[in-house]
Amino acid sequence: MTIREVSEKYDITQDTLRYYERIGMIPPVTRTSGGIRDYQQQDLGWVELAICMRSAGLPVEVMIEYVKLYQAGDATIPARLQLLIDQREVLLEQRRQIDATLDRLNYKISKYEDAVKTGKLSWEK
């Protein structure tokens, strides 16, 4: 696939794809003999991973480290596993914080819904 096709498929700019490759968030993309990017399935897998991890808030530096470890070979499998476990914990903590915020908002919404029905706010915190 061309960079334009990949950009359209994933709804990200071509500049973003070049940036991901340039800083090492994805390994170097397969190229034609003329040097033009020719994304293969493995390249697309890396793009999908980068998009997924960035949308989840994974720091760029962590993704770069993961790619470096991957490129260093199988001896880095334990380090890659630990990196992923650590990031899962970060995401789980973020989820706990979001869930707590949602609980608080739901409580307040229920109080305001009651107030709309009764004409007065019974208790607010």
Residue 22 shares a structural domain with residue 59: yes
Residue 22 shares a structural domain with residue 34: yes
Residue 55 shares a structural domain with residue 25: yes
For residue 3, give the nearest of 37, 41, 30 by alpha carbon: 37
23 contacts 64 by C-beta, under 8 angstroms: yes
Summarize the confidence of residues 65-90 as an average pLDDT: 96
Residue 26 shares a structural domain with residue 42: yes
pLDDT of residue 121: 83
d(CA 62, CA 84): 9
Position 13 pLDDT exceeds 70: yes
Residue 108 shares a structural domain with residue 60: no
pLDDT of residue 52: 92
pLDDT of residue 125: 59
37 contacts 20 by C-beta, under 8 angstroms: no
Residue 22 shares a structural domain with residue 57: yes
How many structural domains comprise the chain? Answer: 2
Last residue within a domain, chosen from 36, 55, 72: 72
Helix H or strand E encompassing 89: helix 77-118
Residue showing tokens 């029905």: 117
| Parent domain of 68 | 1-72
Strand partners for 37: 31
Q: What band does 104 get if pLDDT is binned at 50, 70 and 90?
A: very high
For the chain, the first-to-last Cα distance in angstroms comes to 55
Q: What is the pTM of this model?
A: 0.78
Residue 56 shares a structural domain with residue 80: no
Residue 48 shares a structural domain with residue 87: no
